[in-house]
Amino acid sequence: MLQTIALNQPFPIARAPVRTSAYPRLVPDARSAVACASCSLQGICLAAGLSSKELARFDQLAMHKRKVNRGAALYRNGDTFETLYALRSGAFKSVGISREGNEKITGFHLPGEMLGLEAISPGRHAYDAVALEDSEVCVIPFAELEALAASMPALQRQLFRALSSDISRDQGLMLLLGSMSAEQRLAAFLLSLSRRYQRLGFSANRFVLRMTRDELGNYLGITLETVSRLMSRFQREGLVSVRQREIELNDIERLMALVGHW
Amino acid sequence: MLQTIALNQPFPIARAPVRTSAYPRLVPDARSAVACASCSLQGICLAAGLSSKELARFDQLAMHKRKVNRGAALYRNGDTFETLYALRSGAFKSVGISREGNEKITGFHLPGEMLGLEAISPGRHAYDAVALEDSEVCVIPFAELEALAASMPALQRQLFRALSSDISRDQGLMLLLGSMSAEQRLAAFLLSLSRRYQRLGFSANRFVLRMTRDELGNYLGITLETVSRLMSRFQREGLVSVRQREIELNDIERLMALVGHW
DNA sequence: CGCAATGTTGATAACAATCAAGCTCGGTGG
DNA sequence: CCACCGAGCTTGATTGTTATCAACATTGCG
């Protein structure tokens, strides 16, 4: 049975341990509901806006769940694309790998988000999706989803929305990578995480990073040392409180000012 | 009547003038065909893969064309989203503008590409689409497109593909912005343009940039001075021949080596 | 013909990367 | 239970890339 954690408090406050595995997993819905109808992410995932009758049919399709352990891949670069995934609990990173072995992280994924959308067109995955902690996804066969969408306008629309918002998200990151200083990038990242956790029902100003400094820097296009220095500086200046991966945002206003209202 | 230009030779070779307006527009199909059936971009745009009967219905939908003069906007940040656009001729940039007035270019668009996809989910445009030269687009009302897609699997699939490949494209740019040196960014950009022109039936190693150094640098996340210096250096090293916006790639192999096989 | 926009090149400065050392914490094994 | 080990994190010193500031060149247009 899954451990219950209180909302608005995604990590224990007193003397919390540091290692990732020591933090409670990111589980928006403590009850391990199997049906979409009783899933806490219903309003966020593809199922949003479906009538109860439609939801039942969609449920059929997304019935199959899959657990992915920390460090394991949901899919890998080169795999043929057959299914989309909806993240139920846990967290993932998307990683591109060059022939030289350089890794580049293009995204972090929280519960309620779809994985695999970028592979529809080429028909193959171009990235690895690696679990940052023990996670669970709903498996959604794409061919059947397509067929269902054709007869269910609300679902078709949700799919378009999901794809479109992936594009928006990426363009936001492009702004970040292409025109912000290291300081602005980190501030923007913390603010964006804050919003995402809030949407999931967690606190907007206290959360636990799911990734290492190395992964974070990789994603932001800066080195892990720079991330570390900036965290320290933000703390010195009273913007945040940092204890390893536990983050508390103390002055969201000033963080936004740093980013400069992009 | 539109001016005819030879394929594989998108700019005149001898003593070409510099200003954009002096170059012939980017017009893959010299005949100003109105129907999709006779459009040279048929294999590239949404209409790809439709039967002739389906094409006729789609044609109805995309019948309306719109001309946009150089410097004018097709849509602006904040506009409500109602239609998608397929670029027939010319070129666009997508520009995000912050409250401080900083501009950030998130994409350049060539004929055959769709504009407006990122606005589906929020229902409003988050960027300006500005014509880099006199251009023409097909106007596609989204609500009707959605309805048509529901009854036309091939079209639905094309829409999914278009959305998905936008995501891929953005992620490619994120790799570029997040983990490449200025030199690698420019090389990668030139190679990517080369591929895109080739797909349109133009030469892969001779083309004309549609944007200023400023816009190019903005897009790549580097300054216009750096762009200029790198162009000069690439030329000194025999990688390319540059005369203002006319580019000839002399050593694609070495350019690819620079980028490092991302 | 001269002006405004665009592009090139040089000198200097700033930011972030790299290299390097040491610290913290949690897991592991004696 | 304690000591040690290693992954992850922090901090400092130095270097290098690219931004910034500045001057000048080119070209197309009015």
Q: Which nucleotide is nearest to A211 (CA to C1')?
A: D8
Question: Among the listed ranges A8-22, A30-44, B1-15, B127-141, which one has the minimum average pLDDT value?
Answer: B1-15
Q: Which one of A98, A146, A168 has the shortest CB-CB distance to B262?
A: A98
What pLDDT sits at residue A7? 35
Q: Tell me which CATH code domain B180-259 carries.
A: 1.10.10.10
Per-run averaged pLDDT (10 residues), chain B, 262 residues: 36 38 66 73 87 92 92 95 95 84 89 94 94 94 96 94 90 87 96 93 94 96 96 96 94 92 62
What pLDDT sits at residue A160? 93
Distance CA B212, CA B215 (A): 5
CB contact under 8 A, A221 and B165: no
How far is residue A31 from each of residues A87, A89, A125, A242, B35, measured CA to CA in Å?
A: 15, 11, 32, 31, 55
Residue ranges matching CATH 2.60.120.10 in chain B = 30-167
What pLDDT sits at residue A9? 39
Residue ranges matching CATH 1.10.10.10 in chain B = 180-259
At a CB cut-off of 8 Å and minimum separation 6, what does B140 contact?
B46, B61, B62, B83, B84, B85, B86
Q: Hey, what are A125's tokens?
A: 């995955």
Q: What percent of chain A is predicted at pLDDT more than 90?
A: 69
Using the predicted structure, report yes or no on whether residue A17 has a pLDDT greater than 60.
no
| CA distance, residue B159 to nearest chain A CA (Å) | 8
Using the predicted structure, report yes or no on whether residue A196 has a pLDDT greater than 90.
yes
What pLDDT sits at residue B229? 97
CA of B143 to C1' of C25 (A): 56
pLDDT band, very low/low/confident/very high, at A170 (cuts 50, 70, 90):
confident
pLDDT band, very low/low/confident/very high, at A38 (cuts 50, 70, 90):
confident
Other beta carbons less than 10 A from residue A15's beta carbon: 6
Q: What percent of chain A is predicted at pLDDT more than 70?
A: 87
Distance CA A195, CA A174 (A): 18
**Which residue, counting CA atoms, is nearest to the C1' of nucleotide D8?**
A212
The more confidently predicted of residues A132 and B27 is A132
Residues 81-100 of chain A with CB under 8 A from chain B are 94, 96, 98-100
Q: Which one of B96, B121, B178 has the shortest CB-CB distance to A175?
A: B96
At a CB cut-off of 8 Å and minimum separation 6, what does B88 contact?
B29, B39, B41, B65, B111, B135, B136, B137, B138
- List the single residue in B with minimal CA-CA distance to A180: B221
Distance CA B131, CA B107 (A): 12
pLDDT band, very low/low/confident/very high, at A179 (cuts 50, 70, 90):
confident
CATH class of A30-167: mainly beta
Amino acid letter for position A66: R
Distance CA A194, CA A204 (A): 5
The more confidently predicted of residues B56 and A19 is B56
**Average pLDDT of chain A, as a whole number:** 86
What pLDDT sits at residue B216? 97
**pLDDT tens per residue across span A219-257:** 999 999 999 999 999 999 999 999 889 999 999 999 999
Kindly report the pTM of this predicted structure: 0.86
